[in-house]
Amino acid sequence: MQAGDATPGGVAAGLCATCVHDRIVRSRRGSVFHLCRRSAADPSFPRYPRLPVLACRGYEPGGSGGGGAGELPGAPRAAVE
51 within some domain: yes
Identify the segments of the chain with pLDDT beneath 50: 1, 3, 68-81
75 within some domain: no
42 within some domain: yes
Phi, psi of 3 (to 5 degrees): -55, -30
10 within some domain: no
71 within some domain: no
Backbone Cα Rg of the chain? 12
Sign of CA dihedral 39, 10, 17, 56: negative
4 within some domain: no
Q: What is the pLDDT of residue 78?
A: 42
The tally of domains found in the chain comes to: 1
Q: What angle do CA 23, 24, 26 make, to 5 degrees?
A: 140
Element (H, E) at 24: strand 22-26
Indicate the residue type of 25.
V
Domain holding 32, by residue range, is 15-66
25 within some domain: yes
54 within some domain: yes
Q: What is the pLDDT of residue 59?
A: 97
Q: What is the pLDDT of residue 30?
A: 93
